[in-house]
Amino acid sequence: MSSDRVLNAAVLGATGTVGQRFIVMLSQNPMFRIHSLGASERSAGKPYSQATRWKMSEQIPQAVRDIVVKSCDPAQYAGCDVVFSGLDASVAGDVEKAFFEADFAVFSNAKNYRMAEDVPLCVPVVNTDHYAVIAAQRASRGLRKGMIVTNSNCSTSGLV
């Protein structure tokens, strides 16, 4: 993949604090374009600026204000290259599984897959060798580009 290709990103759990942090970080990264935002059924169908109670110190990025929030159904995310999930663990397991089984690359902040044998638990720049497990994950599930990668929890991140 060319390093100058801009990836279309989706954020699941976009109205929550973790989702909002993803939005701020992605909106400042030239490698990504926020393409889709997902949240609960009560937020779906509303423009993002009306669906969320913004908690970040930065303003809502202009590029996302008018994006209509979708439900978290993979069929609604055609055109997305990568999915960042800020979903609460109570719903993340099934939703993230549906997305990676639909052949999406999913990066999860939830705990649900952290202990799965074939899911990399990554701490950026510390254990990038863990990404090697993605090939086995794809092969065992018959996926071409779908995958799920998790981050460590907040107590571990602070130690490295």
Question: pLDDT digit string (tens) for 45-84?
Answer: 999 999 999 999 999 999 999 999 999 999 999 999 999 9
DSSP string, 64-98: HHTPBPB-S-GGG-TT-SEEEE---HHHHHHHHHH
SS3 148: strand
SS3 29: coil
Tens-place pLDDT, residues 125-142: 778 888 888 999 999 888
Question: 0.85 exceeded by the pTM?
Answer: yes
Q: What does the alpha-carbon distance between residue 140 and residue 146 come to, in Å, rounded to a whole number?
A: 11
What pLDDT shows up at residue 1?
Answer: 46
Q: Examine the pLDDT at 93 and tell me if it is beyond 60.
A: yes
CB contact set of 46 (below 8 Å; sequence gap of 6+): 68, 69
What pLDDT shows up at residue 154?
Answer: 61
Residue 36's CB is within 10 A of a number of other CB atoms, namely 21
Q: Which amino acid is at 11?
A: V
